[in-house]
Amino acid sequence: MNKNKPEPGYLFSKSYTNYVFILLFLLYMFDYIDRVVVTSMTKYIEADYGISHTKSGLLVSAVYWSIVILTVPVSGLVDRWSRSKTIGLMALLWSLATALCALTGNFIQLVFTRALIGIGEAGYAPGGTAMIAGMYPQEKRSRMMGLWNASIPLGTAIGVLLGGLIATHWGWKHAFGLVAIPGFFVALLFFFVKDYKTVDLAYVDNLNHKTKMKVKDIFGEFFTRKSLIFTYLGITAVVFVTTSLITWLSRYFEATRELESSKAGLLSSIVMVLAIVGAPAGGIITDIWRKRNPKARLLLPTVTSLMAAIFLTIALFFTSGTIQYIFFLLMGVTVTAFISAASAVTQDVVHAGLRATSYAIAVVVQNLLGASMAPIFVGHMYDKYGIESAFTVLPFILLLAAGLFFAGSFYYIKDLNKVSKIKLEAE
């Protein structure tokens, strides 16, 4: 077989598809390094600028608020223009914004530059999700989403670890400058990446007759699919917990174990990086389970969110020392195992020409109600009651997530059958 000829189900050759996937993986990793590097440096920023824990949380939330505002319009550009070129532009912008954080002179300037990072990141997750959904066969969608999303905990762990180490030895501003460099060069490569042709917003019947979608039809793709709505909300609940842990877990270890920032950051990084096992494992298990049960893409997030809630409850309320840390590690494996299956659902049950927009809506909801609220909420609770009390709400939010995913599973098959079957074409 000609190695340049696509195999059945693939848009491009396997080798080229995997090359694009590696670029997407690296860029998502650098995205999260840039996004979370601030979390292990808050102790130094608070000392320099004289700010509270609540304001420290704002440095994380500012990124997510920018994403909320811009992700839908940017994703419209992704769906109607080009996934690869939009990704390249966005990555250049967030890399430059990260570097600008090193040049700030006060808290307001730092918040503003952090918001610029979010503007750059607004279109990346929807664009990357749509590209992966389009390049790989449908039966491999969950596992590839899982492998791609493993870059999130890897980038998170690297960002938290680098932030603490660089801040301790050279000062926190140097960390922003150093982590901005790699993403810039990977972003340039995306201007030369092949894409699939923009899909007409039309329904296609079995005879390949097209009927143009009306505005109400486009809105209906998102807001009449109950499995999709429950998936959006379930993702949001888990993201609230993971963002809380990304932002404050190192401070939790500092407070409860009396550790230096670098050591606490290392412990926190190990917990979060174990999701590099959970995310792809969740995708692989989902695709295997789906052969027997087509609802697996919502049942697996139900199970893993429940498991994460149990492990986190045991860690926070019933154990200490080494045993407690083991349960934190188990939680780290399970808490992001949902993402591959849930991401696939956002692509499964909508028109092929609206996939980036579908994930953009998930991003808006999860960032507005989850990622942007979590750092400030936990920071506020930390200021008033202490970090241990602030963490007590997190297991209950994971239980809510499990319930939302389970509710969505009752509607998934019906929603899947509504989707117009459209074959993608390479540029």
Q: Give the pLDDT confidence of 287-346 residue by residue, as tens digits.
A: 999 999 999 999 999 999 999 999 999 999 999 899 999 999 999 999 989 988 999 999
pLDDT of residue 4: 58
Q: Which of 96-100, 254-258, 271-275 has the lowest mean pLDDT?
A: 271-275
pLDDT of 414 over the 90 cut:
yes
Q: Which residue has the tokens 């998170």?
A: 156
Q: Give the pLDDT confidence of 386-399 residue by residue, as tens digits.
A: 999 999 999 999 99
pLDDT of 109 over the 80 cut:
yes
Q: Which of 204-213, 230-239, 330-339 has the lowest mean pLDDT?
A: 204-213
User: Which is higher by pLDDT, 125 or 300?
Assistant: 300
Which pLDDT band holds residue 220 (cuts at 50, 70, 90)? confident
Q: Give the pLDDT confidence of 169-206 residue by residue, as tens digits.
A: 787 787 887 888 888 898 899 888 887 777 777 666 66
pLDDT of residue 206: 61
Q: Where are the domains of the chain?
A: 14-416
Q: Give the pLDDT confidence of 132-175 residue by residue, as tens digits.
A: 888 888 788 888 888 888 888 788 778 877 777 777 778 778 78
Which pLDDT band holds residue 266 (cuts at 50, 70, 90)? confident
Which pLDDT band holds residue 1 (cuts at 50, 70, 90)? very low
User: Which is higher by pLDDT, 248 or 422?
Assistant: 248
Any idea which architecture 14-416 has in CATH? Up-down Bundle (1.20)
pLDDT of 11 over the 80 cut:
no
Which pLDDT band holds residue 424 (cuts at 50, 70, 90)? low
